[in-house]
Structure 1
Amino acid sequence: MAKVQKRTFSLSEEQAGFIDRKVASGDYVSGSEVIREGLRAMQERDAAIEKWLREEVVPAIQQYEADPSSARPAEVFFEELLAEEIADAPKRKRA
């Protein structure tokens, strides 16, 4: 296990109660374990956002900068998105 560093934090009553309930339910052994799980989830979320920015957003911007005529007006994009949602609605009801 990695070296452990002790820290002190202030929590709202609601946050402290949430931690206490998680430990009392047996889902976690300690409050520290609850906090570590939350930090891992934040790290995963941040990594996913970073990957999305790097792999999808930056290339899209670069494509637009190389050829601005490839862009679609926002109205067209949203009309297409709405049409896709409407077409997919019956599929979601069956699932």
Structure 2
Amino acid sequence: MSQISRKMSISIPPELAEYVSQKVASGEYASDSEVFRDGLRMLRARDRAVEQWLLTDVAASFDDRKKNGTRGVSAEELLSRLDQRRKASTAG
């Protein structure tokens, strides 16, 4: 990564500006810029993780279903399964 910094001007809502200020005031970050840099690094890491998941798990599952001629579950079945899991997790 290049060591040259580029200045940018951004606008954010007041509640996010306050959050950034709190992060700096707590000593967790030395400046507003550090907060934004860290947030952007996390966003990039998340994007890479999602891309990797799509390329490996989702694509492999799609290819397997296509090759074997199987179909996934319907939206109704998926919602029913999720509802059953939710009820089971809150029942205990």
Scaled to the shorter chain, the TM-score interval is 0.7 to 0.9
Measure, in 2, the Cα distance between the counterparts of 1:43 and 1:72.
31
**Moved segments of 4+, more than 6 Å:** none
Correspondence list, 1:1-95, <5 A: 2-68=3-69, 70-71=70-71, 73-74=73-74, 75=77, 79=81, 82=84, 86=88
Letter in 2 for 1:65: K
Alpha-carbon offset, residue 73 of structure 1: 3.5
Structure 2 residue ranges without an equivalent (≥5):
none
RMSD: 2.8
Alpha-carbon offset, residue 72 of structure 1: 5.1
Measure, in 1, the Cα distance between the counterparts of 2:73 and 2:12.
46
Q: 1:67 to 1:36 in 2, by over 3 A?
A: same
Greater helix share, structure number: 1
Alpha-carbon offset, residue 64 of structure 1: 1.1
What is the CA deviation profile of residues 50-77 of structure 1, one whole-angstrom value per residue up to 9, with x for unaligned ones?
0000010011111111111x4454438x
TM-score, normalised with respect to structure 2: 0.77
Identity percentage of aligned residues: 31
TM-score, normalised with respect to structure 1: 0.75
- The number of equivalent residue pairs is 88
Letter in 2 for 1:44: A
Measure, in 2, the Cα distance between the counterparts of 1:46 and 1:59.
19
